[in-house]
Amino acid sequence: MVSVKHIFLAVVLISLSCPPVQGAQGDDPDWPCIQRKVPELSIGQIWTGPTLPVEAADWSNDEVISEMVEELAARRMPLPEAQERIKAYRDTLPPEQRPLRTAMLIQGLFDKMNGERSHVISGIARYAHRQRDMASELRRESSALDVLRNKSGADGNEIAVRTERLTFQTRIFQERVHSLTYVCEVPTLIEQRLYALVKTLTEAPPEK
Amino acid sequence: MPNRTTFAAITLVAGMTCAASGADAFMAYVSNEKDNSVTVVDTVTGAVVKTLPVGQRPRGITISHDGKFIYLCASDDDTIEVIDTETHEIVGQLPSGPDPELFVLSPDGKTLYVANEDDNLVTVIDIESRDVLAEIPVGVEPEGMGISPDGKTMVNTSETTNMAHFIDTDSHEITDNVLVDSRPRFAEFKPDGSEVWVSAEIGGTVSVIDNDSREVKHKITFEIAGLRSEAIQPVGVRITADGKKAYVALGPANRVAVVDTATYKVEKYVLVGQRVWQLAFTPDQKTIISTNGVSNDITFIDVATDEPVQSVTVGSMPWGVVVSPK
């Protein structure tokens, strides 16, 4: 008799033979997301002011700026809090220091968060790789089980154990397919935060 | 030195424009894909007038010619919702077929052509009777929808097939298929009906198709100093009523390109917000509004100067926008 479990497996395994889990671009096997892959951000996406001064590139040598970049970039600090922190810092600066210090923070946040984002993108590539390996492993095990089931005198217990394991691994695979949607959104979340932080940094301070 | 920034400039100009403006108040309706709402914004004051709860994953949005009803694709609810612009209540639904994403209203306002992304169909709906008049099989993942000013030709783009399908609106048959660049998103006719502009998100181009020969006569490309080419992803396209200027939303390039339709040259890139998706003119054509999906805002661009004059925060992931006529 064909059990519900077997039907579930059959359906899932058919879907494994189909191309990637989302409508990815097709030309890049390491990019499973629907969003077009933008491997790195450009500063022009967040900043259209004049070219940042050369000194801004030295932001990591400045202890205060460096510490602020770490703090502000980390998503554990809620965005409104990070924005308040920026405003508070800006208020402590004498007017003549503001342009350079602002530029250093912009460059620092850009370098830091762009790096993080690239790291996430390589992570997504690894994730896609693992999914592909897992899919072919599941397909292999499924056909091996089919062969076993059709063999006379096969060990019923072994079939049961392996079917159970296959079902379990297939569920894990499916869970991972679902999480991909969220994983693919992480680069965008980083971009969103970077843009919001830079926007706060460049807004004119209120008149006193 | 960055002592004056674009953001600051936008805010400043915004203040001046609002103070000086005495123009007619139009209402902009913005579909917010992620929080299942429509934000109603007064286009003169920039104030959010109301936020309406709607169906799941609202995307394509348009308005009846008399301005009385908003039509909204609630993609994940597989329906088109009809919203009364007076009461802001959902007063009905249209049989859209599955996963409606974008649609276009015929110039006489009687027929709605809907792209059903999951089904590879274009559904034709009679608005008054709410009947499905036809289902036209098209390429894989249909999306962009444009209609000629005389209402005789409809163009649908298919995301995966990379084609613009020309459909005769009398026979409901495809008459021509034109290959464009990768992942076409939007089709916009020039007001004189001579050309159709089709954007390609991955290809990074806009193909200008001659409506007589049905051939690509020009391909517009975009280059922004300091920006990687992958970030330039053309989506929404709008052409002014006089046919002279086109506006192209460039996705994560965070800019709208202003194109001279005579020379096909990009005259300007206007910084708006993150992931610019769709565009809509106010009925007086003085302003064009962009939806910025990632920064959760919309930007008003002054059509005379092509300067961004105001940004307004709306719901989560704004997708489409339409402005009510007087």
User: What does chain A look like in DSSP terms, one character per residue?
Assistant: ---HHHHHHHHHHHHHTSS-SS---SS-TT---SSPP--S--GGGT--SSPPPGGGGGGGG-HHHHHHHHHHH-TTS-HHHHHHHHHHHHHHS-GGGHHHHHHHHHHHHHHHHHHHHHHHHHHHHHHHHHHHHHHHHHHHHHHHHHHHHHSTT--HHHHHHHHHHHHHHHHHHHHHHHHHHHHHHHHHHHHHHHHHHHHHHHSPPPP-
User: What's residue A3's pLDDT?
Assistant: 53
At B238-260, the pLDDT tens digits run 999 999 999 999 999 999 999 99
Which residues of chain B does A109 touch, with a Cβ-Cβ cutoff of 8 Å? none
Tell me how far apart the alpha carbons of residues B199 and B220 are, in angstroms, rounded to a whole number: 9
Residue B325 predicted with pLDDT over 90:
no
Nearest C-alpha in A relative to B7: A203
At B135-178, the pLDDT tens digits run 999 988 999 999 999 999 999 999 889 999 999 999 999 999 99
Residues 180-199 of B with CB under 8 A from A: 182-183
For residues B128-137, average pLDDT = 93
Least CB–CB distance from A202: residue in B7, B182, B253: B7
Tell me how far apart the alpha carbons of residues B62 and B54 are, in angstroms, rounded to a whole number: 14
Selected for mutation to probe chain A from B274, B276, B299 (highest A CB count within 10 Å) is: B274
Say yes or no for a CB contact (<8 Å) between A192 and B201.
no
Residues 27-46 of A with CB under 8 A from B: 36-46
At B52-89, the pLDDT tens digits run 999 999 999 999 999 999 999 999 999 999 999 999 99
User: What's residue B17's pLDDT?
Assistant: 41
Q: Is B47 on the interface with A (CB under 8 A)?
A: no
Which residues of chain B does A50 touch, with a Cβ-Cβ cutoff of 8 Å? 1-2
Residue B35 predicted with pLDDT over 70:
yes
Nearest C-alpha in A relative to B253: A45
Mean pLDDT of chain B: 91
Beta strands of B129-204 (E only): which ranges? 131-137, 142-147, 153-158, 163-168, 173-179, 184-189, 195-200
What residues does B299 pair with on adjacent strands?
B290, B311
Which residues of chain A does B224 touch, with a Cβ-Cβ cutoff of 8 Å? 44
Say yes or no for a CB contact (<8 Å) between A38 and B231.
yes
Say yes or no for a CB contact (<8 Å) between A204 and B3.
no
Q: How confident is the model at residue A41 (pLDDT cuts 50, 70, 90)?
A: very high
Q: How confident is the model at residue A14 (pLDDT cuts 50, 70, 90)?
A: very low
Residue B287 predicted with pLDDT over 90:
yes
Residue B319 predicted with pLDDT over 90:
yes
User: What's residue B73's pLDDT?
Assistant: 95
User: What's residue A6's pLDDT?
Assistant: 57
Selected for mutation to probe chain B from A25, A27, A36 (highest B CB count within 10 Å) is: A36
Say yes or no for a CB contact (<8 Å) between A199 and B233.
no
Say yes or no for a CB contact (<8 Å) between B226 and A49.
no
CA-nearest of B41, B67, B39 to B54 is B39
Say yes or no for a CB contact (<8 Å) between B226 and A43.
yes
* Distance to chain A for B32, nearest Cα, Å: 16
Tell me how far apart the alpha carbons of residues B180 and B278 are, in angstroms, rounded to a whole number: 20
Q: Is A50 on the interface with B (CB under 8 A)?
A: yes
Say yes or no for a CB contact (<8 Å) between B228 and A42.
yes
User: What's residue B5's pLDDT?
Assistant: 44
At B105-115, the pLDDT tens digits run 999 999 999 99
CA-nearest of B2, B298, B11, B13 to A206 is B11
* Distance to chain A for B130, nearest Cα, Å: 32
User: What's residue A25's pLDDT?
Assistant: 53
Say yes or no for a CB contact (<8 Å) between B2 and A52.
yes
Nearest C-alpha in A relative to B203: A36
User: What's residue B303's pLDDT?
Assistant: 97
Q: Identify which has the larger pLDDT, B189 or A99.
A: B189
Selected for mutation to probe chain A from B6, B7, B158 (highest A CB count within 10 Å) is: B7
Say yes or no for a CB contact (<8 Å) between B224 and A99.
no
A40-54, A59-73, A83-97: segment of lowest average pLDDT: A40-54
Residue boundaries of the structural domains of chain A: 56-202
Residue A19 predicted with pLDDT over 90:
no
Residue A190 predicted with pLDDT over 50:
yes
Q: How confident is the model at residue B10 (pLDDT cuts 50, 70, 90)?
A: very low
Q: How confident is the model at residue B225 (pLDDT cuts 50, 70, 90)?
A: confident
Selected for mutation to probe chain A from B1, B99, B162 (highest A CB count within 10 Å) is: B1
Nearest C-alpha in B relative to A54: B1
User: What's residue A204's pLDDT?
Assistant: 62
Q: Is B1 on the interface with A (CB under 8 A)?
A: yes
Residue at A61: amino acid letter = N
Tell me how far apart the alpha carbons of residues A162 and A168 are, in angstroms, rounded to a whole number: 10
- Residues near B186 by beta carbon (within 8 Å), at least 6 away in sequence: B102, B143, B144, B146, B157, B198, B199, B235, B236, B237, B278
Record the tokens describing residue B129, joined without a space. Answer: 């009777």
User: What's residue A154's pLDDT?
Assistant: 85
Residue B7 predicted with pLDDT over 70:
no
pTM of the model: 0.83
Q: Is A206 on the interface with B (CB under 8 A)?
A: no
Which residues of chain B does A46 touch, with a Cβ-Cβ cutoff of 8 Å? 254
Q: Identify which has the larger pLDDT, A31 or B165.
A: B165
Q: How confident is the model at residue A48 (pLDDT cuts 50, 70, 90)?
A: confident
For residues B219-223, average pLDDT = 98
* Distance to chain B for A140, nearest Cα, Å: 30
Percent of chain B with pLDDT over 70: 92
User: What's residue A27's pLDDT?
Assistant: 66
